[in-house]
Structure formats: structure tokens, C-alpha cells
Amino acid sequence: MRFQAELADNLEFMSELDNFFGQVREIVDAALDGLVPPPENEPTRLYQAIRWSLFGGGKRFRPAMVIATGRVFGADNERLKRAAAAVEMIHTYSLIHDDLPSMDDDDLRRGRATVHRKFDEATAILAGDALQAMAFETIAGDEMLSHELRLGLVAGLSSAAGRMVAGQQLDLEAEGKTVDMESVERIHKGKTGALIEFSVRAGGMIAGTDAADMEALALFGEKLGLLFQITDDILDVTSTSEDLGKTAGKDIASKKATYPDVLGLDAARLMATRIESEAADILRSIPRDTGHLASICRYVASRNS
């Protein structure tokens, strides 16, 4: 009986989240489609490359965090959707550049050929550059938001993008070296965590959240970023390229600094459980209905792609 009740709970939880992520995809993809020049605009190769990468799948996790957090504090989709699209632009630029021959040299991303494989390396570099510029243009021109809020979002997103680049540099420098827990954490807080943390904070900023709740949201975003990366590291070891839509086993092959590498797989799983529970504690300290954010944490901890 207990097993059946848990199964029913889990099914309900998964279908609610699938529903939510489906809605986010519709909202964000429509916004992106309107913001990125059409594929027939000159230079066609550039816009086709950008669209190849942007619309080639992807979970839209960071936009989902902008929207989920914003909704908890009362913001509507119209105010959230362009900032959510801007975060996805920065994320997609980082994936295009991360896959380049001079970085991870990967052939597969979002279930299809990487941009430099499908087009060419120069186009991939320019597609990433253009997406980065478009992200800031999107926020600066968002007429649903006050000028002050736009400035705050541009400042937050540029700082997160800078931290992401610094994390990527540290990650490349750590390849093949023996690293300790502190270094792994520093790399991942920058490379993955900064943009996820910003996504959570952006939702709060757009909703006009007060200082105390913003502080809690920043802490929650940091934990969520770590949780996302630990599960990503675990999936790299335990999953297939087909399920992930990107090359599995890449971290070991490139001797990357990862949580399973430093801690072992079982301890990395335990750490994910601990971080999920710390994130849930932070959510409980916020005097709002944060149940949906807690469900997203559970989803991140149990995701398989």
C-alpha cells in the first residue's frame, strides 16, 4: 500500500513538472523565435547556426528557474519571458564555445551535431558572440520592465557570465591534475552555478522581492547550481550519450575535475542528497508557497538527462 501511494505521488510530481517544463518551453521558444533574426536574414549562415543550436533541444532549465521563482513572488509571464530568453541565450553561447576544438572538442550537443561540426569553427565562434550580445540587448530593450530593473538585470547577468568564463578557465587548467574538493567547488560555482543562481535571483528581482527574501533566494540558487552540477557529473559516469544528447563519459576521458572523481560515486550521490535537503531548508525559511521550487530541486536530484 505504502509503495503504491509513493508511486502515485511520484507520478503526480513528475507529470506536474513535465507540464511546467512544457509550458516554459512554449513561452521561451516563442520569445527566442521573435528575438533571433530569421534564418533567411543575411548573413544566413550565422542565423542558421544560432537557430541550429538554440532550437536543438535543451531542457530550458535556467529559463524555468527565472519563471518558477518569479511566479512564487507574483510576477507574470509577460514580465519574465524576455529575461528568461536572455539567460538561455547566454547558456547556449557557452555550450557552443565549450564544444569548440580548442575547448572540449565535442561532436554532439542537444542530440545533434555541434555547431562547429554542422557549420564551421569560425561560424560557431561568431554564433556564440552574437548570442551573448543579443542577451544583453534583449534585457536592455525589455519594455515590460523599468529602466532601473533592466540595469540591475544587465549588471547581474554580466557578472554571472563573467564568473562562468572564469570557472571555465579554471576547469580547463585543472584538466589532468589531481584536484581537491575546494577546487572542484570553485570551478563549478563559476562554470555552472553562477548562471543558475542568477536565474533564480532574476525571477525574484522582476517580482520586486524584498532584501531578506532575495538573500535567501541567492543562497537557494547557489545550492541548486551545485546540485545541478553534481547530478550532471554523476550522469556523465552512469548514463549514455543517447539519453544525454551529448557525449557521455567525457569527464573521465578528458580527466576533468568532477565530484565523483574527488569523492567517489556513492559519496557524490550522498552529497547530492545533502545539498537537496539544505536547499529545501532555505526554501522553508521564505514566507511564501515555495513547494514548486522544492519539487524542481527533487527533479534536479533525480533527473536522468
Task: Using CB under 6 A, list all residues that contact ligand GRG.
Answer: 58-59, 61, 91, 94-95, 97-98, 103, 110, 164-165, 168, 191-192, 232
Residue 38 carries which DSSP code? P
Burial of 3 (0-12, 13-18, 19+ CB in 10 A): exposed
The angle, 0 to 180 degrees and rounded to 10, between the axes of the packed helices 61-72 and 211-238 is 150
Q: Which single residue is written with the C-alpha cell 535556467?
A: 62
DSSP state of 37: P
How far CA 7 is from CA of 4, 10, 70, 297, in Å, comes to 5, 5, 30, 18
Phi, psi of 190 (to 5 degrees): -80, -60
Query: What's the CA gap between 201 and 221, in Å, rounded?
Result: 7
C-alpha cell at 174: 585543472
Q: Report CA Rg, the chain.
A: 19
Q: For residue 221, give the C-alpha cell.
A: 540558487
Q: How far apart are CA 145 and CA 156, in angstroms?
A: 15
Residue 65's contacts (CB-CB under 8 Å, 6 or more residues apart) are 196, 199, 200, 203, 221, 224, 296
